[in-house]
Amino acid sequence: MQLVIAPNNVLKQSAKDWKFETPQHFVEAECIEEKMIKLMKASNGRGLAANQVGLLWRVFVMMTEDGREFGVFNPVVKFTSEVMQDGEEGCLSFPELWLDVKRPMAIDAEYLDKNGKECTISLVGIDARCFLHELDHLNGVCFTDKISTLKLALAKKRQLKKRKHNGRTK
């Protein structure tokens, strides 16, 4: 399993529902979750969507602020707070690019765990931000799509400057 780095068309594609009814998917769910969590942690990330490893399934993994790691299969947001918050986001598929993105402060969501069990979750702050960031990936939306062209250009200029400073020009 390898990380997909932008630009790559798979990051702009919508993912399909994970089918727990399919015996192969039921068996693979735990393995996918485990591999994705391992890659997320090795890459120093808080979340990782299936698109980011070249899989077009509605699956992501995340780590909450209190350190809990878990897979999210077929997520659906049921509530978003009206209170919005600007916050800095990065993305493993966009190395060293940091953007201020406005997102709801809190969410309630439903999803299936690796065993196909229905789960509900309420998240606030950075955890809600992470969940929504990864859910966007499953819908073919990157965090770069959430800001103006001017802000993106300025952020990419900072990214390039940082890469040159660190001895990388790509």
Query: Containing domain of residue 138, as a range?
Result: 10-165
Q: What is the arithmetic mean of pLDDT over 8-12? A: 96
How far, in Å, CA of 22 to CA of 68, rounded?
28
92-115 pLDDT, tens digit per residue, is 999 988 889 999 999 999 999 999
* DSSP annotation of 16: B
Provide the mean pLDDT of the chain: 92
> Which single residue is written with the structure tokens 């942690």?
41
Query: Is 16 within the bounds of a domain?
Result: yes
Query: Is 1 within the bounds of a domain?
Result: no
3-state secondary structure (DSSP) of residue 63:
strand
88 catalytic? Reply is no
* pLDDT above 60: residue 73: yes
121-130 pLDDT, tens digit per residue, is 999 999 999 9
**Do 131 and 109 form a contact (C-beta atoms < 8 A)?**
yes
Query: Is 2 within the bounds of a domain?
Result: no
* DSSP annotation of 53: G
What distance, in Å, lies between the first and last C-alpha atoms of the chain? Answer: 22
The confidence band for 170, taking pLDDT boundaries of 50, 70 and 90, is very low
- Selecting among 21, 28, 69, 134, the annotated active-site residue is 134
What pLDDT is recorded for position 168? Answer: 56
pTM higher than the cut 0.95: no
Query: Is 4 within the bounds of a domain?
Result: no
What pLDDT is recorded for position 78? Answer: 98
Query: Is 161 within the bounds of a domain?
Result: yes
For the chain, the C-alpha Rg in angstroms (whole number) is: 16
Q: What is the arithmetic mean of pLDDT over 130-141? A: 98
**Total domain count for the chain?**
1
Q: What is the arithmetic mean of pLDDT over 23-31? A: 82
CATH of the domain at 53: 3.90.45.10
* pLDDT above 50: residue 32: yes
**Do 72 and 114 form a contact (C-beta atoms < 8 A)?**
no
**Do 24 and 31 form a contact (C-beta atoms < 8 A)?**
no
Q: What is the arithmetic mean of pLDDT over 66-89? A: 96
Which two tokens mark 64? 């909450």
The type of residue at 59 is: V
What are the phi and psi torsion angles at 13 (to 5°)? Answer: -100, 150
